[in-house]
């Protein structure tokens, strides 16, 4: 399903390019299988919530479906640089999985004020929408259990550059100086002590 850019000028349409509307269960196929699982160089993820969702249909050495952490670990071990910026503490299963060994190339930081959701693959494709990095958010659950989510998938370099500019400002702590929530985040952008 293509997203109409409506009354945007032709020059702006050319600048921002096309976007595909991603709804509900489509998230799993587009963002996880065609995006995250196929990354070659880098993945930048912004999410408010992070859980160890299962990823059926993605190649793994395990007999059962691998978790998203297994997928990220495998990608990091193949040299894909992964930055995961999230708001809260990952779910207990996600933390337990991460504690086994945080691979080089997978960096996790936390900003309690983060509410944005974006996944940028190889700086060339991007999901931007409402879904968190959870099974219910990214459509890995059955119809009656997943969230109602919407977002866009695009290869627009202008949109990707804009999102990465905001992501990098958060990642590098440029917004920490003026943040009024330091009481919630006494150590800005701490990386988890997983070992």
C-alpha 96/C-alpha 110 separation (Å) is 17
pLDDT digits (tens, 9 = 90+) for 100-121: 777 788 988 888 889 999 999 9
Whether pLDDT at 131 is above 60? yes
The per-residue pLDDT of the chain, averaged, comes to 83
Q: Tell me the three state secondary structure of residue 152.
A: strand
Report which of 134, 132, 75, 136 is spatially closest to residue 107, judged by C-alpha positions.
75
C-alpha 90/C-alpha 180 separation (Å) is 23
Q: Look up the pTM and report it.
A: 0.84
Domains belonging to the chain, first-starting first, are: 19-171 (3.30.870.10)
Tokens of 41: 């160089």
The length of the chain in residues reads 195
**CA angle at 31 for the pair 25 and 37, rounded to the nearest 5°:** 120
C-alpha 58/C-alpha 36 separation (Å) is 10
pLDDT digits (tens, 9 = 90+) for 158-192: 999 999 999 999 999 888 888 887 777 755 555 55
Give the per-residue pLDDT at 2.
Answer: 44
Q: What is the CA radius of gyration of the chain?
A: 17
Give the per-residue pLDDT at 5.
Answer: 47
Residues of the chain above pLDDT 70, percent: 83
């Amino acid at each position: 399903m293509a997203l109409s850019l409506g009354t945007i000028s032709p020059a702006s349409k050319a600048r921002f390019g096309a976007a595909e509307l991603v709804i509900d269960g489509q998230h799993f196929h587009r963002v996880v299988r065609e995006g995250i699982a196929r990354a070659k160089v880098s993945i930048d993820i912004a999410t408010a919530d992070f859980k160890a969702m299962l990823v059926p249909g993605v190649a793994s050495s395990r007999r059962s479906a691998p978790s998203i952490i297994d997928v990220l670990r495998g990608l990091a071990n193949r040299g894909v640089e992964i930055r995961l910026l999230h708001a809260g503490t990952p779910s207990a299963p996600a933390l337990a999985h991460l504690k086994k060994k945080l691979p080089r190339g997978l960096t996790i930081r936390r900003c309690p004020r983060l509410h944005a959701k974006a996944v940028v693959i190889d700086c060339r494709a991007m999901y931007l929408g409402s879904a968190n990095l959870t099974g219910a958010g990214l459509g890995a659950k059955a119809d009656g259990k997943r969230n109602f989510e919407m977002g866009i998938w695009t290869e627009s370099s202008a949109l990707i550059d804009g999102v990465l500019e905001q992501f990098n400002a958060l990642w590098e702590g440029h917004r920490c100086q003026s943040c009024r929530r330091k009481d919630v985040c006494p150590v800005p952008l701490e990386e988890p002590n997983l070992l």
